[in-house]
Amino acid sequence: MSARVRLKQLSGLYAISRLEAGDSIPGWADGPGFVSITRTDDELSITCLQDRVPGTVKQDGGWVAFKLQGPFAFDETGIVLSVIKPVSENGLGIFLVSTFDGDHLLVKSTDHAAARRFLVEAGHTLL
């Protein structure tokens, strides 16, 4: 049986931005709402409310964020799969960010209604 998850939609639209790996974390990245900052050898990736991201920054905007209501134990299996499977199997793109206490699923705003429908049909609860 698949996990049943409660998801809370966050306010606002989000953007996923890409900066160079050696760039400093810009001041605009911090503020209200969900923020994720990830640095790899190849890039500095910032997810935050899109109205904070300067137009000169490479970005993909128009994302709606859902917080999986946890926390979930690190050894608890199937949580993320149960949420992304009904969305991705129906042809919708996703962006997923994991934190210490939980996970955040982002879908394009144009896919928002369909994603909600697929999640509910899969047995999840949208708050």
pLDDT digits 0-9 by tens, 69-125? 876 767 777 788 899 999 999 999 999 999 888 899 999 999 999 999 999 999 999
7 membership: H or E segment, kind and range: strand 6-9
pTM here is 0.91
Residue 42's closest CA among 10, 15, 20?
20
Place 67 in a pLDDT band, splitting at 50, 70 and 90: very high
Span 6-126 CATH architecture: 2-Layer Sandwich (3.30)
Residue 41's closest CA among 62, 20, 27?
20
State how far the Cα of 15 lies from the Cα of 9, in Å rounded to an integer.
Answer: 15
